[in-house]
C-alpha cells in the first residue's frame, strides 16, 4: 500500500497537475488577500486577521481538488490498467486509501506555504502578535478537514466513470452541494423542527464551528463520517465490476 501511495504522489509531482494546483491555490489566495481591492484584502481591512483566507480557500478547493482527483480511477479505467491494479496483492480499500492519502498529501502541501501569511499578519498586528491564534488554528484544522472531505468526494466521482472531465464535473457538483447545498435547503424553511438538523448535514456548519477555535467532537465525528462514507461508496463502486 505504501509503495502505491508513493507512486501516486510521484505521479502528481512528476506531472504539471501538482504544481499547477499549488501555484493556482497560492496565487488566487495571495491576490485576494494582498493585492485586489476587496473585503478580503488584509491591508485595506485594517485588522490583523486571516478571515479572508478561510473564506476564499474553500471555494478555491472546490475546483482544485476535483482537478487533483479526477484522474485517480477514471484514467485507470480508460487505459485498462484498472484490471492490472486490482489484481495486485492489495485489497480494494488499500488501493482506494493509497489514492486518497496521495490526494490529501497534495492538499497539505498546498496549505503549508500559507503559514507565511500567518507570519506576515503576526508582524503587522498592533501590538505585534495581536492575532487570534485559537481562531487561526481552528480555521486551519477546519480547512484541512474540508479539503480531506473534498478529496474523498473526488475519489468517489472518479470511480464511477472512465472520463476524467465527467469525474471533475461530478466532483465539483457533489462538493458544492455538500458544502453549502444544505444551507440553501435550510433557508427555505421547509422542514420545520428538523431544519437545524438539515443544516447540520452540510460541511459549512461544521467548518464554521471549528473556525471559532473550539474543536467540538461532533464536528470531528461529522468530517470523519463523511470521509468514511465516500470511501465506502468508492469501494462499492469498484466492487460493482464483479456484479
> What single string gives the DSSP state of each residue in the chain?
-HHHHHHHHHHHHTSHHHHHHHHHHHHHHHIIIIIS-STT-HHHHTS---HHHHHHHHHHHHHHHHHHHTTTTHHHHHHTHHHHHHTSSS-HHHHHHHHHHHHHHHHHHHHGGGHHHHHHHHHHSSSTT-S-HHHHHHHHHHHHHHHHHHHHHHHHHHHT-S-HHHHHHHHHHHHHIIIIIHHHHHHTT-SGGGHHHHHHTSHHHHHHHHHTT---HHHHHHHHHHHHHHHHHHHHHHHGGG-
What pLDDT shows up at residue 170? Answer: 96
What pLDDT shows up at residue 236? Answer: 94
What is the pTM (predicted TM-score) of this model? 0.91
Q: Would you give per-residue pLDDT tens digits along the chain (243 residues)?
A: 667 777 777 777 777 777 787 888 888 888 888 887 777 777 776 666 778 888 899 999 999 999 889 988 888 888 877 777 777 777 888 899 999 999 999 889 888 888 888 888 888 777 776 777 777 888 889 999 999 999 999 999 999 999 999 999 999 999 999 999 999 888 887 777 788 888 899 999 999 999 887 788 999 999 999 999 999 999 999 887 655
- CA Rg value for the chain: 19
Closest CA relative to residue 178, chosen from 201, 206, 155 = 201
What pLDDT shows up at residue 37? Answer: 75
Structural domain range at position 137: 2-242
What pLDDT shows up at residue 234? Answer: 95
The tally of domains found in the chain comes to: 1
Contact 74, 158 (CB under 8 A): yes
Long-range contacts of 76-80 (CB under 8 A, 24+ apart): 77/161, 77/162, 78/162, 78/163, 78/164
Amino acid at each position: 500500500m505504501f509503495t502505491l501511495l508513493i507512486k501516486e504522489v510521484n505521479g502528481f509531482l512528476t506531472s504539471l497537475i501538482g504544481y499547477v494546483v499549488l501555484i493556482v491555490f497560492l496565487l488566487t489566495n495571495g491576490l485576494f488577500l494582498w493585492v485586489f481591492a476587496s473585503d478580503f484584502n488584509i491591508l485595506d481591512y485594517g485588522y490583523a486577521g486571516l478571515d479572508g483566507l478561510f473564506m476564499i480557500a474553500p471555494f478555491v478547493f472546490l475546483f482544485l481538488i476535483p482537478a487533483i482527483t479526477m484522474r485517480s480511477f477514471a484514467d485507470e479505467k480508460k487505459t485498462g490498467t484498472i484490471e492490472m491494479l486490482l489484481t495486485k496483492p492489495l485489497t480494494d480499500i488499500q488501493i482506494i486509501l493509497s489514492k486518497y492519502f496521495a490526494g490529501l498529501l497534495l492538499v497539505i502541501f498546498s496549505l503549508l506555504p500559507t503559514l507565511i501569511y500567518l507570519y506576515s499578519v503576526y508582524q503587522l498586528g498592533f501590538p505585534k502578535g495581536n492575532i487570534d491564534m485559537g481562531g487561526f488554528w481552528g480555521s486551519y484544522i477546519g480547512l484541512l478537514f474540508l479539503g480531506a472531505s473534498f478529496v474523498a468526494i473526488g475519489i468517489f466521482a472518479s470511480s464511477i466513470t472512465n472520463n476524467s472531465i465527467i469525474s471533475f464535473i461530478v466532483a465539483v457538483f457533489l462538493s458544492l452541494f455538500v458544502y453549502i447545498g444544505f444551507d440553501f435547503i435550510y433557508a427555505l424553511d421547509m422542514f420545520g423542527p428538523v431544519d437545524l438538523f438539515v443544516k447540520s448535514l452540510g460541511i459549512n456548519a461544521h467548518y464554521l464551528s471549528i473556525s471559532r477555535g473550539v474543536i467540538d467532537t461532533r464536528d470531528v465525528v461529522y468530517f470523519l463520517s463523511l470521509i468514511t462514507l465516500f470511501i465506502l461508496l468508492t469501494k462499492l463502486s469498484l466492487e460493482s465490476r464483479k456484479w
